[in-house]
Structure 1
Amino acid sequence: MQKAQEILKKYWKHEQFRGLQQPIITSVLGGNDTVGLMPTGGGKSVCFQIPALLNEGICLVISPLVALIKDQVQNLQSKGIKAIAMTGGIKSDEMIDLLDNCQFGNYKFLYLSPERLQSDWIMDRIKNLPISLIAIDEAHCVSQWGHDFRPAFLKIGGLKDHFPKIPFLALTASATPRVREDIITQLGMTAPNVFQSSFIRENIAYMVFETEDKLFRIEQILRKNPQPSIIYARNRKACHETAAQLQSLGFTATFYHGGLPPKEKEKNMNRWMSDQVQVMVATNAFGMGIDKPNVKTVIHIHLPENLENYYQEAGRGGRNGEKSFAVLLTTQSDVLHAENQFIAVLPDKQFLKEAYIKLCNYFQIAYGEGINEQFSFNLNQFCNIYKFPVLKTYNTFQFLDRQGIITLSQEFSEKVTIQFIIDQKEVVRYMSLNRSDEEVLLALLRSYPGIHEMPSAINLAMIARKAKTTESFVKSVFERLQQKKIIEYQAQSNDALLTFNEVREDDKTINRVTKYLERQNNLKKEQLQSVLHYVTTKDKCKSRMILTYFGETELTDCGHCSYCITKNKPRNDYKKMADQFLELLSERALTSRDLLIITNYREADIIFVLQLMLENKSIAINAVNQYYRR
């Protein structure tokens, strides 16, 4: 291992390996198939990069994360190490040149997205390369039981037949025992050495708080912990709104999601990475490959889809080893609406088939034709024409993409943005004088409450539907308002690029993938139940619950999660609290937030006592959520 440590010091400036890095590298250098389960931030890439630099030949790295591939290739190139990436959007001629460079140019790393392995000619070219190691990152994607299964990963097993003596290294940060065994089977590994770190992150305090006012609780957390923070939200609109609300409270905040132009993504990312802003509000498009060591707090304001994603996102805090907080904020309605959020939008076989046939008809693809044809595609327009629910349709096409039936670029960017640049009173005055524009303006104001504060991404089809008019009329209203300097209006094409990878065969195409759809839907239901169990269970250590989910058994309570802290604190005297509340509410009506500020009791206790008092009819609540004494 002496030479390995010398390379570690030379290129990565570290004196010692961390965690399981050394035994994994030793196993790979010994020519053994190896599985490494390491927590987020555990330094997985070093486990294949150092063996590759020590051996002759080229390391093939297969990863589904294009952003992470680009980041790693740039880092290697900045160190003077020759690396190439072959991801989506590269033409065949360019790929031929890249593969020639790999074969004759003394390159050490070839990064591929798994979908590239579906091209037989690429597989044939890879088989002629001097491969020394095959590394599979995010290896849970190879398992049908993984939270991000991609059938394209199943092609990797075919490489084992051609390279039987070349070690395979499968790496993942989140895999249940069932997923781990399936990875080994699907990759055709031979007696692999399995190394698994405990999933425990001792410096992370997992917190679950039920709160009536999420913004107020976020404000409390961020003022108490003014270090860099991430707030995860479910959608782009929530990113913009939350960032604007935090800015109005005096915090420095920015946002990140898949719909931003690349330059804006980079600008916002750099501002946060360089500590110019404290808070990054983001969808789960943010985070992969982001290694910022001093993140103090990771807050989720919506329920995650599964515990695998939650564990990875929460694990972006505290990478410097200092104490950090993973906070999940919930309301009772979050739990009640979870099935509508996640389960109701899953496509069944009938919807899958109908959406696929309509998609082919939309582009006039005849039966038996269509392979390799490309089209610009606007999801909202498609759904508007066929009266399909947008999210369910998006999930359907994403499923078809993962099966390799179509390829759909993920840039569903809302490029139509509007911001009012006059006062609200002047907008009302304009509507009273221009009745023909009133319905469009009302639909706009009701749908986008933050549109006066910052540019808002607009769904034209939705506005047209609410205003009971056409998209072309809505655009004409916006153009008129821009000319009169009432709004700032930017409109660009928001088309995605859609490619048909197979000939159209309707029943044959859909029937072939139905079993994967059923497994996916059942798995998502199981995963959601695990999330709900994690959120609603009040009498178990949160860290222990996560570890149990990932198959760990010899556990003790962490001592610093939301359950452990509550367990160790003396229980409040609820009668004394109720008497104090009655006295305060005799003077004036108060919200639960007011009581929290005045009394400094725990919010959960305040809500509990107020509910008891409502049931006993000693207090009531008015239309603005203020409590008052009867």
Structure 2
Amino acid sequence: MPTALEILQKYWQHDTFRSLQNEIIDSVLNGHDTFALMPTGGGKSICFQVPALINEGICLVISPLVALMKDQVANLQNRGIKAIALTGGIKTDEVVDLLDNCQFGNYKFLYVSPERLQSDWILERIKNLPINLITIDEAHCVSQWGHDFRPAYLKISILKEYFPKVPFLALTATATPRVKEDIITQLGLQNPVQFAKSFARKNIAYMVFEVEDKLFRIEQILKKNPQPSIIYVRNRKSCLDISTQLQTLGFQATYYHGGLASREKDKNMQLWMEEKAQVMVATNAFGMGIDKPNVKTVIHIQLPENIENYYQEAGRSGRNGEKAFAVLLTSPSDIIQAEKQFLDVLPDRDFLKKMYIKLCNYFQIAYGEGINEEFMFNLNHFCHKYDFPILKTYNGMRFLDGQGVLTLSQEFSEKITLQFLIESKEVIRYTSLNPNDEEIILTILRTYPGVYEMQTAFNLSLIAKKSQHSEAAVLAVLHKLKDKGIIEFHSKNNDAVLIFNEIREDERTINKVSKYLTRQNELKKEQLQSVIKYVSEKDICKSKMILDYFGETATKNCGICSYCITLSKPKKDFNDLSNKITALLQNEDLSSREIQNKTKNTADDVIFILQQLLEDNRVAIQKNNKYTLKN
């Protein structure tokens, strides 16, 4: 039997294990249930892949992330190791063939999503496989106190009944002490051996800067650090906007979000990986399974939803051990915007009840009926009919799905994608010759500014409502434009499928799940408050704050974060700068950047003095963001 180190050398060409990897592998090989908390970049996959290759049989890996599963399977196959992933969208016949391969084809790894285990026939087939290890990746998903709770994870513990002698390995990169205990309980781990790698990333400087002009600060950071960088933004539109703005400033930038076609994602990813683009502008869809060691800077330009997500995303910098920067740029309005984005869309009990009743009425389900009935479902149409906010409704339906009241296909996607193939001046010429189509076309262009650059997901009901036309009229124009070669247009029949798992009981149905809703909403509020505290607290080491959040105590300051560098700088006498600024403002109104250029001072120092002058009521800020001296 080969040793763990021999396996590592043979398949990964490494001569040593990283911190804790060897200890975790030994625990698994000795048959112990094991819990391992290894922050981003710690090499979690080696901890189950090496022992699985030593022992006879198959390692069952349960993961919620399709992209990560595909990435790991591809990496294993490239090393000559047989691995399979049962991801969504695979037809039943193909699943049967894949499971046959596992049983008779000497495969070593079977990756499945937790939802797949809810199919009785798949579970029955897995029970008959020679499983040597059960790995639960992203194990925090089992905890309702975790930042990414997945109800299907609660069913994983049933595997203990079928494989009582097979060790469980629970892996996560982010878990507070409360979440860790919940993971151990919910998975039914028996006296688990526990490992926890420190959350400290000594080479990452956590920076929080309050700025007025975020793009200008990004420009300064990227010029100072021209190595590979990631900029995280809130939505898909911002990806294209920020990427385009950076290109205008002379940077090689590309973008990545969940709405891009696979070909586009791969192309943009390759540009960044090969360093033909310095900057990747992305939503949080980017990053899982991406291991680029020399990322110098990760910049967030809006507040993240929770510290867990922020830590993981920031931790994609500096994996080569060299100094790196995790920068969070804030402005005074960010807190209000974050509360609107993350908290205002949370459904409360009254909204949930109203939404559930309307949903039943929408499908004409009578009280006491509806169990196991299945329907095609269009979220936009439903929300438009009852004047419900889309995000709050979607969150409500996801919650009911999590509680087993409904089964909802995993995500809503737009039915239509389109892209304009001719230049904008030619489109304007077409509208002048076809005035009946003008309002619909102009509405599309105003709503989707990136529609010239790429295939764009298209919301039919939204365009119909905005242009004050019927959906049929909008579709007719799209077909006409396609026939004339003006647009590339794809229509897909991919509405959600909705299954009612219980009979309709209105009040009783909602009553039994509302306590979980209250807990979930309170958790999200707590998590956002932790983020707000992180950016607002000016007198504590940022690294210390992150460690404290994860239940780890730091004995000394990190020395490199935005707070610590203020301690190492000599104390400044700001009176001279204050006098210079007031003298300049006596002659003309100026923006902070203009003041910075004229005084030859840093942006931080200028902003600091301006805030002092504002608090002392000596200056005022105008609508054009210029400062004026008060009389």
TM-score under structure 1 length normalisation = 0.91
Following TM superposition, by how much is the alpha carbon of 1:524 offset from its aligned partner in structure 2, in angstroms? Answer: 0.6
Q: 1:605 to 1:127 in 2, by over 3 A?
A: same
Q: After the TM superposition, which residues 235-250 of structure 1 pair with which residues of structure 2 at under 5 Å, given as runs?
A: 235-250=235-250
Q: 1:108 to 1:324 in 2, by over 3 A?
A: same
Partner Cα separation in structure 2 for residue 608 and residue 536 of structure 1: 15
Say which SS state the counterpart of residue 45 (structure 1) adopts: helix
Select between 585-594 and 553-562 the one with higher mean Cα deviation.
585-594
Partner Cα separation in structure 2 for residue 449 and residue 572 of structure 1: 46
Alignment correspondent of 1:519: 519
Q: What's the RMSD between the two structures over aligned residues?
A: 3.0
Alignment correspondent of 1:169: 169
Alignment correspondent of 2:585: 585
1:526-584 Cα shifts (integer Å, max 9, x gaps): 11111111111111111110000000024311011111112222343332112111333
Partner Cα separation in structure 2 for residue 444 and residue 614 of structure 1: 43
Partner Cα separation in structure 1 for residue 294 and residue 592 of structure 2: 33
2:290 matches 1:290: yes
2:437 matches 1:410: no
Say which SS state the counterpart of residue 325 (structure 2) adopts: strand
Partner Cα separation in structure 1 for residue 216 and residue 415 of structure 2: 29
Select between 614-623 and 583-592 the one with higher mean Cα deviation.
614-623
Q: Is the 8 Å Cα contact of residues 259 and 411 (structure 1) preserved in structure 2?
A: no
Select between 226-235 and 501-510 the one with higher mean Cα deviation.
501-510
Q: 1:458 to 1:497 in 2, by over 3 A?
A: closer
2:376 matches 1:381: no
Partner Cα separation in structure 2 for residue 439 and residue 411 of structure 1: 27
Select between 93-102 and 508-517 the one with higher mean Cα deviation.
508-517
Say which SS state the counterpart of residue 332 (structure 1) adopts: coil
Alignment correspondent of 2:321: 321
Q: Is the 8 Å Cα contact of residues 544 and 554 (structure 2) preserved in structure 1?
A: no
Following TM superposition, by how much is the alpha carbon of 1:235 offset from its aligned partner in structure 2, in angstroms? Answer: 1.1
Partner Cα separation in structure 1 for residue 253 and residue 113 of structure 2: 33
Alignment correspondent of 1:498: 497
Partner Cα separation in structure 1 for residue 604 and residue 306 of structure 2: 25
Following TM superposition, by how much is the alpha carbon of 1:302 offset from its aligned partner in structure 2, in angstroms? Answer: 1.2
Alignment correspondent of 2:548: 548
Partner Cα separation in structure 1 for residue 415 and residue 609 of structure 2: 45
Partner Cα separation in structure 2 for residue 530 and residue 258 of structure 1: 27
Following TM superposition, by how much is the alpha carbon of 1:398 offset from its aligned partner in structure 2, in angstroms? Answer: 2.8
Give unpaired runs (5+ residues) of structure 2: none
Select between 10-19 and 568-577 the one with higher mean Cα deviation.
568-577
1:399-444 Cα shifts (integer Å, max 9, x gaps): 34444532324362484445696668995x9989987667656655
1:292-318 Cα shifts (integer Å, max 9, x gaps): 111111111111111011111111111
Select between 547-556 and 192-201 the one with higher mean Cα deviation.
547-556
Q: Is the 8 Å Cα contact of residues 416 and 457 (structure 1) preserved in structure 2?
A: yes
Say which SS state the counterpart of residue 44 (structure 2) adopts: coil
Alignment correspondent of 2:76: 76
Name the amino acid aligned to 1:230.
I
Aligned residues: 627
TM-score under structure 2 length normalisation = 0.91
Partner Cα separation in structure 2 for residue 478 and residue 176 of structure 1: 50
Q: After the TM superposition, which residues 551-630 of structure 1 pair with which residues of structure 2 at under 5 Å, given as runs?
A: 551-614=551-614, 618-629=618-629
Q: Is the 8 Å Cα contact of residues 596 and 602 (structure 1) preserved in structure 2?
A: yes
Name the amino acid aligned to 2:117.
L
Q: After the TM superposition, which residues 300-315 of structure 1 pair with which residues of structure 2 at under 5 Å, given as runs?
A: 300-315=300-315
2:409 matches 1:371: no
Partner Cα separation in structure 1 for residue 455 and residue 158 of structure 2: 49
Alignment correspondent of 2:537: 537
Alignment correspondent of 2:465: 465
Name the amino acid aligned to 2:541.
C
1:593-618 Cα shifts (integer Å, max 9, x gaps): 22233334343432232244345565
Partner Cα separation in structure 2 for residue 600 and residue 156 of structure 1: 61
Say which SS state the counterpart of residue 209 (structure 1) adopts: strand
Q: Is the 8 Å Cα contact of residues 360 and 504 (structure 2) preserved in structure 1?
A: no
Alignment correspondent of 2:150: 150
Say which SS state the counterpart of residue 149 (structure 1) adopts: coil
Q: Is the 8 Å Cα contact of residues 410 and 496 (structure 1) preserved in structure 2?
A: no
Select between 150-159 and 533-542 the one with higher mean Cα deviation.
150-159
Q: Percent identity?
A: 63
Partner Cα separation in structure 1 for residue 415 and residue 236 of structure 2: 9
Partner Cα separation in structure 1 for residue 459 and residue 213 of structure 2: 28
Partner Cα separation in structure 1 for residue 614 and residue 434 of structure 2: 48
2:264 matches 1:261: no
Q: Is the 8 Å Cα contact of residues 419 and 456 (structure 1) preserved in structure 2?
A: no
Following TM superposition, by how much is the alpha carbon of 1:142 offset from its aligned partner in structure 2, in angstroms? Answer: 1.1
Name the amino acid aligned to 1:45.
S
Select between 20-29 and 160-169 the one with higher mean Cα deviation.
160-169
Q: 1:606 to 1:300 in 2, by over 3 A?
A: same
Q: Is the 8 Å Cα contact of residues 208 and 535 (structure 1) preserved in structure 2?
A: yes
Give unpaired runs (5+ residues) of structure 1: none
Partner Cα separation in structure 2 for residue 494 and residue 253 of structure 1: 34
Select between 151-160 and 434-443 the one with higher mean Cα deviation.
434-443
Select between 571-580 and 148-157 the one with higher mean Cα deviation.
571-580
Partner Cα separation in structure 2 for residue 567 and residue 475 of structure 1: 62
Name the amino acid aligned to 1:406.
T
Q: 1:264 to 1:403 in 2, by over 3 A?
A: farther
Q: Is the 8 Å Cα contact of residues 211 and 330 (structure 2) preserved in structure 1?
A: yes
